[in-house]
Structure 1
């Protein structure tokens, strides 16, 4: 499969449940941090960089955690940017604005 670096924006939107939505989001961010993928937490999304397969594994890990933790319902928004023959990083898009 594609072996270049891709980047993704992940946004978890818990729907209802027994916990405050921020608690579920914090738990998903902890999973992202444990993945050791490069990431940056923002106010609305967390940007993650890694191989395509690592990003897909992370998405699966987040969903699996939510299922096992009995989150009633959620929306996991994913934006994925890829290039067919080269890496793409968040830094190349944002460094000029810092």
Structure 2
């Protein structure tokens, strides 16, 4: 299967002073996958196979709840085409 892009924004319902810590743990999990990713001010974009990326979304929910989130709102965007799509093809002209 070709690579796709998935952007994930997690909004854990935790006290304000804990939000960055919880989100940082999700980003560390993404980093540990070895996949290409880009952290932005609102979301993290990841490049990989769709099934693997959807597993990351599921793990992100678990991390948030294990760290005390009563609820997690996640916004997911997927850019998919059969021949694949890369982060570089979208943003390289801006670097």
TM normalised by structure 1 equals 0.87
**Structure 1 segments of 4 or more deviating over 4 A?**
none
Q: More displaced, 33-42 or 10-19?
A: 10-19
CA distance in 1, matches of 2:72, 2:63: 12
The runs of 5 or more residues in structure 1 that have no matched partner are none
Give the root-mean-square deviation of aligned CA atoms: 1.5
Select which of 7, 10, 15 maps to 1:9. 7
The answer as to 2:85 corresponding to 1:95 is no
Aligned residues: 95
Any gaps of 5 or more consecutive residues in structure 2? none
1:25 aligns with 2:16: no
Higher helix residue share: 2
